[in-house]
Amino acid sequence: MSIVQLDHVRKVYGAKVAVEDLSFSIQPGTMFGLLGPNGSGKTSSIRMMIGITLPDSGSVSLFGKPFTRDVLSRVGYLPEERGLYKKMKVLDQLVFLGSLHGLSMAESRRRSIAWCERLEIVEALPKRTEDLSKGMQQKIQFIASLLHDPDLIIMDEPFSGLDPVNAVLLMDTLVDMRRAGKTVLFSTHRMDQVEKLCDGIALIHRGHLVLSGSMAEIKSSYPRYRVHICFDGDDAFLSHPSIASVKRYPGRAEIRLRPSPTLDDDCQALLAAAMLHARILRFEVTQPTLEEIFIEKVQEAKPAKNGAPPPDVTFDDLERQPEEVGLDA
């Protein structure tokens, strides 16, 4: 049984198609990443999963049944934008949101305090929400979505706007939840986070599903064609015939090899060529990162109009409003 199942979901706002023919499923007890650049339809998809909006066509099932509002008591939701009452005291706010999910006032209060201790923001409890920093408000919102101990946790951009320490704290919390048997879905435009945390992913671009499946499967379907090399000396080896493209940095280079059945041998040949003229400090052969896979997929789906593929497209170029440069990248 899938915890979340989307079947050919389509959603249109006015003239804009937000989501088109989107299907994927999430298995119980896994951590799932919904990936895509800003404006690709992540938030629209999530809103349909929890019934804030309904799909124009297609269907959404939660916990193995077509969506009804009754299951919402088993879902914890963190919206992309902070949705807190600005003037309310933090504790009152948490107690209120907890009781909306069916907790008694006393139980809601007890859990709120316990969670604030766990996420190290006890000092915020008596303060008014508007007096807190953005990151602290984010943590409060995070707690609010977990108070009622939901089986399915859906978080829209949970780590955006957080410093690395707090981002790791929340990631660890989500990992703990997954370990406790909960299903976690979160959206992000940061591929590195997904790569570290997720069991399964869905990549969407302009409302279309580009790639989905388990992380391990996706990665293993890509050969090790990526070479990261640190060196000292002549860089003439970078014109080696096995190389498809190069990103050159001071003292190092990121290389993509040409697809070939003899990829392993090509690597060794490249290493040998490099050693002739330069001192090799590091030579690493890896699978592509999720980011590279994504870019590749997007370019496959939309062949370049001018014939040649644009060189060195990065993930950030695909985003309409690049928002943050990775802190821990």
- Part in contact with another protein (CB under 8 A); list of ranges 92-100, 170-178, 259-267, 318-326: 92-100
**Which residue, 100 or 168, is less far from another protein as judged by CB?**
100
Report the nearest approach of another protein to the CB of residue 142 (Å): 12
- Part in contact with another protein (CB under 8 A); list of ranges 139-147, 171-179, 227-235, 315-323: 139-147
**Which residue, 182 or 267, is less far from another protein as judged by CB?**
182
* Contact residues for 264 (Cβ-Cβ < 8 A; gap 6+): none
The tally of CA atoms less than 13 A away on the side-chain side of residue 257 is: 27
Residues in contact with another protein, shown as a per-residue x/- string from 95 to 134 under the rule CB under 8 A = -xx-xxx---------------------------------
Residue 320 contacts another protein per CB under 8 A: no
Residue 222 contacts another protein per CB under 8 A: no
Laid out side by side, the sheet with 75-78 consists of 75-78, 152-156, 183-188, 31-35, 200-205, 208-214
Residue 58: both structure tokens together = 């297609």
> Of 281, 290, 301, which Cα lies nearest the Cα of 329?
290
134 burial (CB, 10 Å; 0-12 / 13-18 / 19+) is: exposed
Residue 213 contacts another protein per CB under 8 A: no
How crowded is residue 3: how many other Cβ atoms within 10 Å of its Cβ? 23
Residue 160 contacts another protein per CB under 8 A: no
Footprint of another protein on 56-75 (CB under 8 A)? 69, 72-73, 75
Report the nearest approach of another protein to the CB of residue 47 (Å): 8
Residue 226 contacts another protein per CB under 8 A: no
The β-bridge partners of 61 are 5, 66
**Which one of 82, 224, 226, 240 is in contact with another protein (CB under 8 A)?**
82
Residue 3: both structure tokens together = 């915890």
265 burial (CB, 10 Å; 0-12 / 13-18 / 19+) is: exposed
DSSP 8-class letter at 280: E
Residue 144 contacts another protein per CB under 8 A: yes
Residue 13 contacts another protein per CB under 8 A: yes
How crowded is residue 6: how many other Cβ atoms within 10 Å of its Cβ? 22
- From CA 133, how far away is CA 274, in angstroms rounded? 51
Report the nearest approach of another protein to the CB of residue 291 (Å): 29
Residue 86 contacts another protein per CB under 8 A: yes
**Which one of 57, 64, 85, 277 is in contact with another protein (CB under 8 A)?**
85
The tally of CA atoms less than 13 A away on the side-chain side of residue 271 is: 15
Residue 47 contacts another protein per CB under 8 A: yes
**Which residue, 69 or 282, is less far from another protein as judged by CB?**
69
The residues that touch another protein, with contacts defined as CB under 8 A, are 13, 47, 50-54, 69, 72-73, 75, 77, 79, 81-88, 96-97, 99-101, 141, 144-145
